[in-house]
Each structure stands twice: as C-alpha cells, then as structure tokens.
A and B are shown apart, each in its own frame.
Chain A
Amino acid sequence: MTNIDPPAEAAEAAPDTPAGTIGASPASRRSGAGGWRSLVPRWSPKLGIGLSLVGAIALFGILGPVLTGDPDTIRDISMTPPGGEFWLGTTQTGQDVLALLAHSTRGSLQIGLLVGVLATLLSAVFGVIGGYVGGAVDEGFSLFSNVMLVIPGLPLVIVIAGFVPVEQRGWWTIAVVLAITGWAASARVLRAQTLSLRNRDYVAAAKVAGEKPWRIVSVEILPNLLPLMASQFVFAVILAILSEAGLSFLGLGASGSDTLGTMLYYAQNGFALQREAWWWFGPPGLVIALFGCGLSLINFSIDEIINPKLRTVPAAARRTRGRTGGAEREGRSAAARSVPGRGEPGRRESGRDAVLTVENLNVVYRGEKPVHAVKDVSLTLGRGEILGLAGESGCGKTTLAYAINRLHRPPAEVTSGSVVFHDRDGSDLDLLALGREDLRAFRWSKLSMVFQGAMNALNPVISVRAQLEDVLTTHRPEMSARARRERCAEVLRLVGVDPRRLDSFPHELSGGMRQRVMIAMALLLDPQVMIMDEPTTALDVVVQRGILREILRFREELGFAVVFITHDLPLLLELSDRIAVMREGEVVEYATADEIHRAPRHPYTRRLLDSFPSLTGERGAFIRTGESSARERPGSGSGAGTGTKTIVKEAGSR
C-alpha cells in the first residue's frame, strides 16, 4: 500500500455530504443543551394539552394550600353548595372543599412523585445492571423481579398497609409500599432494552477504547434509555396516585395526611353520594382523572421519541430510509389516485412486445418537507427482458418499484404519470386506476415481487409448504389440494430446492435456500413480470451467483420479464439487457447493458462504475486514481452519440 495518491480523497469529500443528508442548519445544531435536545418531545397538541393539565394541577397543589387556609377548620355551616364565600362549598363538618382539595392534591402529588422516583430507581438498578452485567447477576435479578411481578400488587399493598400500625402509616409509608410493588414490570423492560443496547457496536467501541464498565453503563447506555425511563416514571406516577386513591378509599391509606383518596373516603363516609353533595366527591375525582389524562398525553409524546414511527406527521427524512427500507414495506392500502388515461404508450419497444410501460411517473413523500422521490420516470419493460435498476440508497429505486405495484404507503403518493400493464392476452391494465379487488387479483398473479431481505419474511412457525399453498388457495381457489401440492413441489424444483424441503420450517433452511423459496413463491402463479428488490444483497457471492443463474434460466424457460433492483452495477452489467441508472429520483441514464459498459455517458454512471474495482484488472490502479479510474474503457468517448438509444439526462443544478 505504498502507491497511493493522497489527492484522491479530497475530491471525494464533497459527494460524501449530499445536500439533504444533513437536515439541521448549523444554527439550530448549536442551540440546546446537546444530546438532551434529542430527548425533548416534539411539540404536538397532545403534548400541549397534557403539559397544561399537569402544570395547572401541580400549580394548584403547590400554591393552593397557601392561599386557601386550613382545611381542617370546622364550621357549623355543613353541606353548603358551591357559591359565595366557599367556591366549592363545604363538607358535612363545614370544612372548605376548596382548601381540602388543594391540600389533598398536594398530598397525592407528593406520593405520586416519591413513588415515581423510587420505582424508577429500583427498576433501573435491577434492570440496567442485570442486563449489562449478565450471567449469574442477571439471572438473580431477573428471578427477583419476576417474583415481584407475579405477586399480585393490590392485595400485597393491602396486606402491607394493613400490617403497619395506623399511627405509623404516614404518606411516605404508603409511597414506599407502592414503589416496592410497582417497579418490577419496568425493570423487565429496561433489562430487555439494555440487553439489546449492550450488543450495539458503540458499546463494543467504548470497550475497545478502554472505558470502564460503570462509565459504559452511565455514559453510553443510560442516556439512550432515558426516554424509556421517563415514560416509565410518568406511568409509575399515574399508577401511584390511582393506587393510593384506591387504598385510601378502602381506609388503608395514610393517616394524618390529606390525599385525594382520603378525601373520597371521607366523602363516602359522610354519605355525600346519597345527599347529592356532588361538590364534595366530584372535584377530587375530576382532579385524579385530569391528572392521569394529562400524564398519559405526555407519555404519548415520550413514546414518540422512543418509537418515531408513532409520529402522526412522518418526518421528511426519507433519505436515510435506504438502510432500513422498511417504512413502506408491504403496504396494503393504496392511496394512489388514478391518473386520467394518457393515450396508449406501450408496444413500441425495440422489436419486443412491451409488458409494462411506466410513463412520467412522479412519487412524492408528503410531509413537512415533501420529498420528490421519483421524478418523471419513464421505462418500458419488454416481454422476457431483464431490466436493471441501479442506484444508491435513497435514489428512489425501491419507491419506484413499490409505486409500480401500488404498494407504497400513505406518506408516499403518486402525483402524476401512468403505469400500464400489457397482458399476454392483449388487454391493457392501467395499474394506477385499478380498484382494490382488481389490484389484489392482479398482484402476484401477473406481477410478483421479491422484497429486499425477503428471506426473513417467511413466517418461522409455518412450514414452507403451508406458506406456498396459502398463496395458491388465495389466488386459485378452484385448484384441488393435489394440484396445489404438485405446483408447490414444481416451483421448488425450479429454484433448485429439493421438494422434500416442503415440510421444513424456515429456520431449518439456510439464507440462500430461504431466498430461493421466496423466489419460488413469486413464481407460483406464473407471473409475467417479477420485480426483485436487492434479492441477493444479504447473500454470499457464491449463493448469489447460483440465484442469478436460476433467474436467467427462468427467463429463458418461462419467458417472464424481470426488474432487478440493486446498487451493484457490475452485477447488472452481467445480468440485464438494459439498465436504468437512478439518482435522486431521476433516471439519469437508460441504455442497454452493453452501452453502459462500453460507453457510459452520464458522469454519475461513470462514477458508479468506477466505484467497483476490477477483480482481475491492473492492481492498484483503483487506489492511485481514487474517484476517477484510469482504467481505459474501450470505446469511451469515441462511440458516444452515434445513433444509440441511450437516454442521458445531464445532471442539472441538483
């Protein structure tokens, strides 16, 4: 590694930071107290209502007792309805309900807060430490929290509360009892989460850097658990206030202190209900309900931090989707609008019949910042053709594939364009105008799809046979059981899997075999088009080669067309007839594989090609030259533009 030119990388740094990857502006990045900013829930009406409810009640609990005077003052005006001097009326013994309510709210809040803190601490100690340390400690802690979990909470609380003599039963006793019975479930959740975080690479990286275990737990793991813990804290507070109210109502509550529960208890004892003194039992009930409601609303917002998928307005950060790719997977609802029929574009493909024509298709992800994921894409898939769709993550290639099959999900929307399927029998189908039922019948039987990482899409508890036959029973209900069985065996044989494997369960098959089973499933109904989205990326080259061989063979034998999506351009060069290179939603070059190989015209295509070093070419050429390979491409530059059908969209200002 001595023959390297340093300038090679300077050029690379620029494309490395495409606009849009870095969402936040420098100004907003600076603001806020660092990582804590990411923990602050996004503003939403839910959060606003929740916060104002909780804030108002807390303020009432804090300031109310100071402003309302002693609630225990007994007057001789009992059971006055609200009005005049007493805004909320008086009790049987002439106590001011408002003062009573203020003191009780404070008491309940105290208990709720203390229980929240204690329960969260206990669950953190048992869950996080157990999860991180593992081994015997984890076993012990798990056992303990499991035991705590199966002990029925309320009866235990009643027993403990009943066991402590009344005179010693202060509000903090109740709080401790509630905390001890309430932490176990949270500890289990935290443990599971810690177990997953523990295996993250950044924890491994911290270990390699030589960090001490306590620092790894407190600095690397704990901050990532904070949203979860906050949510558990809020939940513990709600639970504590409710349980305390229940206990006090049963007469097992704190003695000598006012809580909302004791207030209800006295109201019950004073026959408030029978005497229709609604002002006595109504307010404490309402405060409990509103406080619980407010905290729950806050919890929803915290949940959105933990699980961003819950957000109602999907974030516009579609560009990072490439990695996970899951957002729009297997969408069922098709919100696509039908497009007014534009003429008949199909059937003009280079001598071959077209089977699928895509004209000026546009797909937009709606959101705060709409993302135009597919821009004016026009493609024609000939019968029996293999069309390669090349591009990097986030270029819109998967979105395009999903839109063709109308599998895209709501934030994504087809804004214009047409997708027409030309059936073998000569009829044309406008896919964007198909109704729900027609679409269901169309999918899989005429156009099937093999998803990215599809081998993990098999149901692990159902045998291969059952999963294959399920497709047949849905789409070909008239088929006999025997015919179904034979068809399943037949497709398995086609993809090179022993039909004896039909009775296997997915976990008994290797990754390559599972992927073959998925392809077999896509073949079951003898489709005319198969869309394959990175079907081999998760597989080893040797297995990949085997599967590609099968695809080519089917094409010959069964005559269907394939749209093959991948970032691996060299693979497409070998496999496909024509290649469309996509970048930022646009097809920048659309030509035969041969032309793309010999004379790529768009700079991006060239860059993509140059990203793959030749296995057998001159050694080191790749390194020395970096971004622009010195490898001479025969014909590059000379043969360009001589009557080829190559479509090249020059990269615009984007």
Chain B
Amino acid sequence: MTTLEVRGLTKDFSIRSGLRHSRLRAVDNVSLTLTPGRTVALVGESGSGKSTVARMIARLEKPTAGEITATGPDGRRVADRAYRDHVQMVFQDPFASLNPFHTVEHHLARPLKLHGRARGKAEVAQKVEQLLERVNLSPAADIAQRRPHELSGGMRQRVAIARALAPGAQVVIADEPVSMLDVSIRLGVLNLLARLQREDDLAVLYITHDLATARHFSDDILVMYRGRVVERGPADEVILNPQHPYTRILAAAAPDPDVRDRARLTEATGIEPAGNSALPGDDPGCTFRDRCPEAFEACARMPEDFAVGYDHYAKCWLRSGAGSAGRPAAGGNATA
C-alpha cells in the first residue's frame, strides 16, 4: 500500500542576473514511492536538489511539473485540504525551526488545534504532554512551558519531531534531521524517529548526505546528483554494491572507522575537484559526465534507469548491458 506517490517531479528556478533570465533545473523528473512502515533515504551532496524535493512534498514549493499523490489509510486519495494532516516535515536546523518567541506548548498546541485533534484547554494540554512523552521529553509539563533557547539542540529536534506528529501525519519528511546536532546525540534522535515510525506505521523520507546513517536507517536509498536520481535500490545494495560511478565515489569518500587506512586517503580515486559545472544548463546528456572517471561517447545522451539487480537501478550507460560492448578502451570524450 502506498501512502505517497511522487511522479516525475520537476522544479525550475529562474535566476535573474542583471537583465538576463536563466533557468536552473533544480529537480529533474524525480519519482519515488513512500509506503507505511518503511523509510526511503534521499542522499546527495548539497545542491543536488534533495531539499527541494522535500519542500515540494511538504508543499512549501510548487513543482514545475509532476504530481504528488497522497493516499489515506482507506485507500482513497487524500484531498488537498487534508494534505497537511497527512504529510508533515522535520526541518534541518532545530535552532531555526522553532520560533524563539513561543513556548514549546505553543508549537505543539497549534497543530493540534488546527487539525482538530484536540479541543478545549485541558485536552490540548493533555495531548501536548502525551506528545512530549512520546519523544522522551520529561517532565513533560515542565518542558511544555519552556522556550526554545532553554533547550539543547537534541531536545529542540525532539520538539520538532513531536510537532510533526501532532496533526497525526502518516508521512514524515525528515530533511537532514540530525546534521546540525552534536554527533553524540544524533543517534538517539534517529532511533527515536525509528521507534515512532514503527509505533505509528509511518512512511518516512529521510534526506541526508550521510551515507552511513542512510544505510542503517532506511530500507531504500535514492542517490541524487544535480537534480536527478542516479541510482536507487535497497539500502545495502546501493552502499555495498554501488553501480553508478557517482555512488561509488561517494561511498569511497565517506570516512569509515572500520576501514581505517591512510593509504586509502592518499590514493587517487580519479575524483577531480568539483569546481563549477563545465556542462551547460540545458545539456542533454548525463549530468555527471564532466566528473566521471569512466565517461565515454554514449554519455552525451541522457541515460535511462537500467536495472542492475533486484529493484536496483542505475542511470548510467555503463549498466545498459549492451553499453560496455560499445565502450572504447580509453576514457572517451569526457567533457573536460
């Protein structure tokens, strides 16, 4: 059963520099499906468009093209008006996502009231305390009266998670929920999200640049690069057996305490400094080919998703099956 289905999501931003208008395609034809009780991770470097996807799903941005369909537990499409009950978001920076002026109670009581989940002062207060207890903030009555600046980063993020749960959402978009927190408390917040997901059978979209937590906390991983999903598949498959050259480079670059080897650091991985894209904005081909160590002629055309395993796809000509046959021995025309 799907809870949220995203088809062909595309977002163009128009950039005005002086008198010239240009168009930047931040998200290009992204499709994904969220199902109850499962987590999908969207990984990629900053600027890859993953946050824009999150903001479009949360209806903070209007998509240029594509559609987002939410399905209720009854199997029927969620009406536009009820969409916000259904889909909620946890923001990256807990220092910015809570209004410094208001108490914790305000942040939780408003969505409760707005979505008709509680009426009357006593009921609201009781539900607020319940929510706080669910995210392990106690004593709840005390915390509810505090203001964001009186809480640590981890506590704030818990409040933010409680706020997302308040309207009774079935889908939670978590946009880098722990990247602004101290490392030693990140895991606790992620574990909390995992527990809540299991308890409420939530569908979670976990957006991150951290491959390791993506692997441990999600069922499926989508790797984004310059607005496109270049690889998708089961979490273990994508990380341990990456098929797209970009995913390979990402996996190789992530520090891994278990594979501690300084030689690994010094060896040339064929990664060039990212630099600014050498490709024009309307380039028809693969967006990674200017950095790709394995680029060849075919890359000037846009690759499609080629199946590379069970439910595992890579957007790369190298995986086209026939692709390797036509591949020249020496590098080819990698766009410098």
A residues sitting closer than 8 Å to B (CB atoms) are: 1-2, 4, 6, 8-10, 12-13, 15-18, 21-24, 26, 29-30, 34-35, 38, 200-202, 204-211, 219-220, 223-224, 323, 392-393, 496-497, 508-510, 512-513, 516, 540-546, 548-549, 552-553, 567-571, 573-575, 593, 597, 607-617, 619-623, 626-627, 631
Contacts and interface: CB of A to CB of B under 8 A. Distances in A.
Given A205-B163, A615-B259, 8 more contacts: A15-B184, A393-B182, A512-B275, A544-B253, A567-B183, A614-B258, A615-B212, A616-B240
A571 B212 CA distance: 13
B155 to A, nearest CB: 6
A497 to B, nearest CB: 7
Contact of B188 (A16, A205, A570): A16
B197 interface: yes
A15 B185 contact: yes
Contacts of B167: 209-210
Nearest to B206: A1
B264 A574 contact: yes
B151 A22 contact: yes
A201 B92 contact: yes
Nearest to A8: B191
Contacts of B259: 615-616
B186 interface: yes
25 contacts: A1-B39, A1-B219, A4-B191, A4-B198, A8-B188, A12-B191, A15-B185, A18-B152, A29-B145, A38-B101, A201-B96, A209-B167, A497-B273, A512-B275, A540-B45, A541-B209, A542-B253, A548-B265, A609-B257, A611-B184, A614-B257, A616-B258, A623-B216, A626-B188, A627-B187
A574 B262 contact: yes
A407 B154 CA distance: 31
Which of B97, B142, B219, B258 has the most A CB atoms < 10 Å from its CB? B258
Interface stretch (B18-26, B107-115, B324-332): B107-115
B273 A220 contact: no
Contacts of A224: 99-101
Nearest to B262: A574
Sorted nearest first, the 10 A-B pairs with minimum C-beta distance are: A12-B188, A540-B45, A201-B97, A570-B255, A210-B84, A545-B253, A223-B101, A201-B96, A16-B154, A570-B257
Contact of B266 (A15, A549, A612): A549
B282 interface: no
A278 B191 CA distance: 78
B150 A209 contact: no
Nearest to B204: A1
Contacts of B110: 206, 209, 211
Contact of B260 (A4, A202, A510, A597): A597
Contacts of B195: 4, 6, 9
Interface in B122-147: 136-138, 142, 145-147
A210 B182 contact: no
A123 to B, nearest CB: 20
Contact of B89 (A208, A611, A617): A208
Contacts of B119: none
A323 B181 CA distance: 9
Nearest to A34: B103
Contact of A623 (B217, B254, B265): B217
Contacts of A26: 142
Interface residues of B, number: 98
A619 B235 contact: yes
Q: Is the interface of A mostly helix, strand, loop or mixed?
A: helix
A622 B274 contact: no
Nearest to A324: B95
B160 interface: yes
B250 interface: yes
Given A35-B102, A211-B110, A615-B211, A22 B152 contact: yes
B15 to A, nearest CB: 13
Contacts of B261: 574
A32 B316 CA distance: 62
A562 to B, nearest CB: 13
B97 A205 contact: yes
B37 interface: yes
Nearest to A215: B110
A38 B147 CA distance: 10
A392 to B, nearest CB: 4
A38 B101 CA distance: 8
B251 interface: yes
Contact of B274 (A4, A543, A569): A543
Contacts of B92: 201
A52 B289 CA distance: 71
B39 A209 contact: no
B302 interface: no
A399 to B, nearest CB: 16
B271 interface: yes
Interface string B57-79: 01110000000000000000000
B254 A541 contact: yes
Given A12-B185, A24-B150, A553 B266 contact: yes
A17 B274 contact: no
Nearest to A18: B152
Which of A16, A17, A392, A593 has the most B CB atoms < 10 Å from its CB? A16
A96 B61 CA distance: 69
A1 B256 contact: no
B257 A612 contact: yes
Contact of B152 (A17, A512, A607): A17
Nearest to A593: B260
A208 B58 contact: yes
Contacts of A323: 95, 180
A622 B102 CA distance: 35
Contacts of A627: 187-188
Contacts of A16: 152, 154-155, 185, 188
B266 A30 contact: no
B174 to A, nearest CB: 12
Given A24-B150, A224-B99, A567-B182, A615 B256 contact: yes
Contact of B249 (A202, A542, A570): A542
B183 A612 contact: yes
B111 A35 contact: no
B273 A512 contact: yes
Given A202-B96, A513-B275, A209 B255 contact: no
Contact of A568 (B155, B163, B194, B255): B255
Contacts of B46: 540
Interface in B150-176: 150-152, 154-155, 160, 163, 166-167
A497 B265 CA distance: 19
A545 B269 contact: yes
Contact of B187 (A22, A24, A570, A622): A622
Contacts of B252: 545
A205 B38 CA distance: 23
B147 A35 contact: yes
B89 to A, nearest CB: 5
Contacts of A206: 99, 110
Given A512-B273, A623-B217, A545 B265 contact: yes
A202 B97 contact: yes
B2 interface: no
B91 interface: yes
B255 A552 contact: no
A614 B256 contact: yes
A35 B105 CA distance: 12
B34 interface: no
A540 B265 contact: no
Contacts of B10: none
Contacts of A574: 255, 260-262, 264-265
Contacts of B274: 510, 512-513, 540, 542-543
